Copies of this chain bind each other. A is one copy, B any other.
Amino acid sequence: MIAKTPEPPYYAVIFTSVLKKTHEGYSEMADKMEELAKLQPGYLGFESARQKLGISISYWKDLESIRSWKQNTKHLLAQKSGRENWYEQYHIRITKVERDYHFKTI
């Protein structure tokens, strides 16, 4: 669901990807990495959706938290598997959230 994030500024990592036709083991690893990310210092939230294109957004307190998560040993192994086995292509964008707005019906 929509992540409950604090007042800006904070950071968002936008990960857009296209999977290979066969990608056995991908979903299990994605779930594992989502669980592991939640335990990292500075983690603020996560959102994802996939049709042909997959979009995953993770929210972080600062750039240092993003750097640490990128270098996490289990995450490094998952990244390697991703490049070798699962992703046809991906794009990662490191962004700073400057403003946000929320709308909700009663």
List the interface of chain A (C-beta within 8 A of B).
1-3, 5, 8, 12, 14, 16-18, 20, 47-55, 57, 83, 87-105
Q: Is the CB of B51 within 8 A of A93?
A: no
Most chain-B CB neighbours within 10 Å: which of A12, A53, A55?
Answer: A55
How far, in angstroms, from A100 to B55 measured CA to CA in the complex?
A: 15
Q: Is the CB of A95 within 8 A of B16?
A: no
Q: List, in ascending order, chain B residues with CB within 8 A of A55's CB.
A: 47-49, 55, 57
Given contacts A2-B18, A47-B53, 19 further A-B contacts (CB under 8 A): A1-B52, A2-B17, A3-B91, A8-B93, A12-B93, A49-B52, A49-B55, A50-B51, A55-B57, A87-B105, A89-B102, A92-B101, A93-B97, A93-B99, A94-B97, A94-B98, A95-B96, A96-B96, A96-B98
